[in-house]
């Protein structure tokens, strides 16, 4: 009997930690549309991150929010507009309007969610930026 080689699981190298708020924002938006967004999102979250979201106003810690987000369905697109960044030393507040396309039901047209969003980023001792607070308030489409 011959031994067959075992295929090694190849995982992509983790993205470098964001050194600027702009890099953190870009990484955050890109992570939302990955097939498996959880590892990339988790890497950006401060351990004590608080997320305030949904029409009923859920308040979740990082783990609870990641479980909630995983149940929603795949986000296929995120577009931001009217972005403002306020830097306050080792803290930065990013405010924007955000539109997401979420496939609550696979194989159907994604549902469009619009929200007014604030993200509070803090600089870790390592110099990387981590998300400490996220608030998303759904809004009705203009018109």
- pLDDT bracket for residue 69 (50, 70, 90): confident
Q: Which residue has the higher pLDDT, 3 or 97?
A: 97
Encoded tokens for 139 = 């809004």
Q: Which residue has the tokens 């047209």?
A: 109
pLDDT at 138: 87
- pLDDT bracket for residue 17 (50, 70, 90): confident
Element at 40 (helix H, strand E): helix 38-44
Q: Which residue has the tokens 């930065």?
A: 92
Whether pLDDT at 141 is above 70: no
CA 47 to chain centre: 14
* CA-based nearest residue to 79, from 103, 115, 108: 115
pLDDT at 9: 45
- pLDDT bracket for residue 108 (50, 70, 90): confident
pLDDT at 10: 45
State the average pLDDT over residues 77-96.
Answer: 96
């Amino acid at each position: 009997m011959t031994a067959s080689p075992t295929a090694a699981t190849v995982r992509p190298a983790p993205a470098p930690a964001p050194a600027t708020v702009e890099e953190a924002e870009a990484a955050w938006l890109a992570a939302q549309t990955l097939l498996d967004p959880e590892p990339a999102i988790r890497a950006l979250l401060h351990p004590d991150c608080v997320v305030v979201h949904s029409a009923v106003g859920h308040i979740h810690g990082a783990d609870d929010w990641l479980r909630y987000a995983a149940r929603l369905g795949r986000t296929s697109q995120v577009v931001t507009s009217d972005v403002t960044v306020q830097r306050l030393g080792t803290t930065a507040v990013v405010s924007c309007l955000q539109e997401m396309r979420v496939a609550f039901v696979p194989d159907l047209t994604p549902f469009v969610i619009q929200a007014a969003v604030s993200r509070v980023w803090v600089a870790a001792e390592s110099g990387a930026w981590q998300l400490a607070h996220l608030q998303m308030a759904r809004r009705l489409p203009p018109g």
